[in-house]
């Protein structure tokens, strides 16, 4: 067993370079992660299912190949969210319905990731069917925030974000519908990117034409996120919306940062009110950009029409995916999941038509703004990480939310537009909790977005004070 905790401090790109130089092996990395997980997982619960035996077997197979043939990731370990199938590994989707399920085949996205040198060693925790901004379920329990174990890690990719923050992952696969990559990134002080629909392919799916739910990369910095995006993207058989890999890698773009000339800043996209402390930190970030020569202008963008449209389209997705599950297993489902499915089942054609029209209007409105600005920036969450005992947020910043997901409007409004969005950390609260911003790019504009995000990351500089309590 070869354990080197100093490797945890290295970036994913640095670790891949070490793998290519054969200065370390995938086995060294797996042993180090196993040791770190033994230290922190009893407190954090980010990676409830470990599959190190399978990972070492995969590493052995990789090491039989010449280094040049070991793929883009060259043996870098990657955890997979528990919504996504990995062959031979327990995959529960956070639900008692699937608590003993072990799929025989992997999701197409996992197969692609492994073909490019990723080594799967764990499943990251998620709320049941990914249905919320707080990671807890009846199978594995709650995932805690590494910065403060009494607080939520966000959701639904909360396990992935907490693993990154607690040193049990260099990069992580996640997914996003209402903000599931972006909210946990903000809560845990990491980076999460929601790419354009089709940029990252996966399946099979009940509705392979869905453009709301997507998979994307998570990492501790923008460049590492770009590395994982390269490993995840490309055309996949059976994924009708999948896009081709770009001629120039996203990693190359991230390594050539280009500061945006004009930035639009919105306090809440016209749909959300943000906690004053978060807003103050985000405004300080805008001041840093301005001081460094970036033109930052206030935006009056109003995406307030998104709420009803999002609920409708999300409801259709839940009904499509889980109607049969509700009929067979109502007695063991989370009440929020039941509400989601039933809401979708009762929708009529008029509501569906209205939602599609609203979505189009929101896209054109944001697209028009992005013709005048390089990027749009707004807060990534309206609240700081909340106590783990709170199952959802119903009241915050003087607002009462009718549903358990409406506190996520600042993220789900952007979901409807289909624009690529990256969440990056930008500061710390007085209580030592991370705060993040969302940076929104043009349609299918991941390359330019990564260039801008990396430049902004450089301008912001060191934002964290200390390390997570469990690191």
How far is 182 from 147, CA to CA, in rounded Å? Answer: 17
Is 150 designated active site?
Answer: no
Q: What Cα–Cα distance (Å) separates residue 110 from each residue in 154, 254, 315, 362, 467?
A: 23, 24, 27, 32, 31
Strand pairing report for 191-194 and 262-265 = unpaired
Q: Which residues are registered as beta bridge partners of 214?
A: 176
Beta bridge mates, 50? 122
Residues 172/166, Cβ–Cβ less than 8 Å:
no
From 418, 447, 17, select the one nearest 247 (Cα to Cα): 447
Active-site residue, 156 included: yes
**Alpha-carbon span 192 to 321, nearest angstrom:** 25
Given phi > 0 = left and psi -120 to 50 = alpha, else beta, which region is 270?
left
Catalytic residue, chosen from 81, 131, 152, 175, is 81
Give the active site residue among 106, 156, 196, 201.
156
Angstrom distances, CA of residue 376 to CA of 36, 297, 317: 37, 10, 28
Can you tell me the distance from the alpha carbon of 306 to that of 411, in angstroms, rounded to the nearest whole number?
Answer: 10
Beta partners for residue 95, in sequence order: none
81 among known catalytic residues: yes
- From the list 124, 131, 180, 201, the catalytic residue is 180
Active site residues: 81, 156, 180
């Amino acid at each position: 067993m070869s354990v080197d905790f100093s490797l945890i401090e290295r970036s994913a790109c640095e670790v891949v370079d070490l793998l290519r130089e054969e200065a370390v092996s995938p086995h060294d990395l797996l042993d180090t992660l196993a040791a770190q997980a033994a230290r922190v997982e009893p407190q954090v619960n980010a990676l409830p299912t470990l599959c190190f035996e399978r990972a070492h077997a995969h590493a052995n197979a990789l090491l039989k190949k010449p280094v040049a043939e070991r793929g883009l990731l060259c043996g870098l370990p990657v955890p997979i969210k528990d919504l996504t199938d990995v062959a031979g590994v327990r995959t529960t989707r956070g639900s008692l319905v699937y608590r003993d399920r072990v799929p025989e085949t992997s999701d197409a996205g996992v197969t692609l990731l492994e073909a490019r040198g990723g080594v799967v060693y764990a499943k990251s925790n998620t709320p049941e069917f990914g249905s919320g901004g707080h990671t807890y379920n009846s199978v594995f329990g709650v995932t805690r925030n590494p910065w403060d174990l009494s607080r939520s890690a966000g959701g639904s990719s909360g396990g992935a974000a907490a693993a990154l923050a607690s040193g049990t992952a260099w990069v992580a696969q996640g997914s996003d519908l209402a903000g599931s990559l972006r909210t946990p990134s903000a809560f845990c002080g990491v980076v999460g990117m929601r790419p354009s629909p089709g940029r990252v392919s996966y399946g099979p799916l009940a509705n392979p034409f869905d453009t709301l739910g997507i998979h994307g990369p998570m990492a501790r910095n923008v460049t590492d996120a770009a590395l994982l995006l390269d490993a995840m993207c490309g055309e996949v058989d059976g994924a009708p919306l999948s896009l081709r890999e770009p001629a120039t890698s996203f990693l190359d773009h991230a390594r050539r940062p280009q500061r945006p000339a004009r930035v639009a800043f919105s306090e809440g996209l016209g749909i959300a009110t943000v906690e004053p402390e978060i807003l103050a930190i985000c405004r300080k970030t805008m001041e840093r950009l301005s001081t460094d020569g970036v033109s930052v202008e206030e935006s009056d963008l109003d995406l307030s029409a998104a709420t009803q449209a999002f609920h409708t389209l999300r409801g259709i997705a839940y009904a499509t995916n889980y109607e049969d599950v509700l009929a067979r297993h109502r007695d063991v489902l989370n009440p929020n999941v039941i509400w989601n499915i039933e809401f979708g089942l009762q929708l009529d054609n008029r509501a569906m038509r209205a939602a599609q029209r609203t979505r189009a209007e929101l896209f054109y409105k944001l697209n028009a703004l992005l013709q005048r600005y390089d990027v749009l920036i707004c807060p990534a969450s309206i609240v700081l990480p909340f106590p783990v005992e709170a199952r959802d947020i119903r009241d915050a910043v003087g607002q009462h939310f009718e549903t358990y997901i409406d506190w996520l409007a600042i993220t789900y409004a952007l979901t409807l537009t289909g624009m690529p969005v990256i969440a990056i950390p930008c500061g710390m609260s007085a209580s030592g909790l991370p705060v993040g911003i969302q940076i929104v790019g043009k349609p299918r504009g991941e390359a330019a977005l990564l260039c801008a995000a990396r430049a902004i990351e450089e301008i912001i500089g060191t934002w964290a004070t200390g390390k997570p309590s469990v690191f």
